[in-house]
Amino acid sequence: MNVQEIMSSDEFIKSISDMNELSKMWLIAKENEAAAMGDRRKIEDRIKSLVGVAENLEGTETVDPDQFTIKIVGRIDRKVDGDKVQELAAEFGLTEHLASLFRWKPEINMAVWKAADEAITKPLAAAITAKPGRPSFTITRKEK
């Protein structure tokens, strides 16, 4: 077992109760994660180059070298300016098509929600599902 495997084992991590040691380990893991992600992306870019995948690939391309199957899924990220699309639809008489062409995703504005009267928010609360997310951490070394 190498040092990396030991550091990442559940038993080893659970055996440490010193917050400074855990913080050091977290920083090392974060650096390793960033380096691994950089390496992975360079490898993916090289594979894309060798396969000849277009930058604007939208869909799936599969390559089968001798020992592996490589599936490359390309996506085009699209963002919609909701106000602008509604304005344009009204201008060109296309409003009735919006519901089929676009998905409208309501998002809660927590600052306004918290400030609003309970008579408004209480009846609407049944339409909202809330579950805790994974907390994010930022750990930095203190300057000496």
User: Residue 71 and residue 51: Cα distance in Å, rounded?
Assistant: 11
Say what percent of the chain tops pLDDT 70.
98
Domains in the chain: boundaries? 1-77, 78-127
Residue type, 92: F
User: pLDDT, tens digit, for every residue of 15-62?
Assistant: 999 999 999 999 999 999 999 999 999 999 999 999 999 888 999 999
- Size of the chain, expressed as the number of residues it contains: 144
> Is the per-residue pLDDT at 8 higher than 80?
no
Q: Give the least confident one: 5-9, 119-123, 128-132.
A: 5-9
Confidence at 77, pLDDT banded by 50, 70, 90: confident
Q: Is the pLDDT of residue 4 over 80?
A: no
Q: With 0-12 CB in 10 A as exposed, 13-18 as middle and 19+ as buried, what is 60?
A: exposed
Q: Which residue has the tokens 């085009």?
A: 76
Contact residues for 67 (Cβ-Cβ < 8 A; gap 6+): none
Tokens of 136: 């994010």
Residue 130's pLDDT band (cuts 50, 70, 90): confident
Neighbour tally for 23: CB within 10 Å: 15
What mean pLDDT is reported for the chain?
90
What does the alpha-carbon distance between residue 12 and residue 24 come to, in Å, rounded to a whole number?
Answer: 14
pLDDT (mean) for 110-137:
90
> Is the alpha carbon torsion for 22, 23, 28, 29 positive or negative?
positive
Confidence of residue 137 (pLDDT cuts 50, 70, 90): confident
pLDDT at 9 over 90: no
Return the ∠ at Cα 20 (arms to 19 and 23), rounded to 5°: 85
